[in-house]
């Protein structure tokens, strides 16, 4: 599977449709993947996983102890997601429940996160890049990972 890179501005219209950025759309078409699982793991963004990537994640979840609180919580959160199809114009419909709960409407940013796409309010992306920085502890942790 190809890797998603870069971030692009986009708009979620009144019908909940978002036109995926050309570069991301081309990767999905090249991989013959028009189905995406859209869900939320964090309250500030949606994630759109190509179906094969999502299915692999499900398999990893199934291999973990089912009664661990973190696993239960993650499964509960992502169960509000929905499988969507990309149309011939490169659009997907963001389920209304997710649009409302995560508050992603209007201007958004679609970010390639290697194996999935993140959809975030434009104002959140602005804040992240202008204000949020890596702490010294986080930089040390990344150094230990040899990134």
In contact, 38 and 94? CB cutoff 8 Å: yes
Provide DSSP, 59-79. HHHHTS-TT-HHHHHHHHHHT
What's the distance, CA 134 to chain centroid? 21
Give me the CATH topology for the region 7-144: Chemotaxis protein chec (3.40.1550)
Q: What is the mean pLDDT of each run of 10 residues along the chain (147 residues)?
A: 91 96 92 95 95 95 90 92 96 95 94 96 87 85 85
pTM over 0.85, yes/no? yes
Q: Which residues pair with 84 in a beta bridge?
A: 36
Q: Specify the residue for token string 């994630």.
A: 47
By CB neighbour count within 10 A (0-12 exposed, 13-18 middle, 19+ buried), where does 88 fall?
exposed
**Residues 6 or more apart from 104 whose CB is under 8 A from it?**
12, 45, 46, 94, 98, 119, 120, 121
Q: Given this model, what pLDDT does residue 147 score?
A: 67
């Amino acid at each position: 599977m190809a890797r998603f890179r870069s971030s692009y501005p986009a708009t979620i219209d009144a019908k909940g449709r978002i036109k995926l950025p050309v570069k991301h759309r081309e990767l999905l078409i090249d991989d013959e993947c028009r189905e995406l699982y859209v869900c939320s793991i964090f309250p500030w963004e949606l994630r759109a996983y190509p179906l094969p990537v999502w299915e692999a994640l499900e398999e990893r979840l199934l291999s973990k102890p089912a009664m661990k609180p973190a696993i239960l919580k993650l499964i509960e959160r992502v169960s509000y997601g929905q499988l969507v199809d990309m149309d011939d114009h490169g659009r997907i419909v963001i389920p209304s429940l997710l649009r409302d709960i995560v508050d992603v409407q209007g201007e958004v940013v679609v970010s390639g996160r290697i194996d999935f796409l993140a959809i975030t309010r434009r104002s959140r992306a602005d804040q992240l890049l202008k204000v949020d920085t890596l702490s010294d502890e986080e930089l040390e942790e990344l150094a230990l990972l040899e990134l």
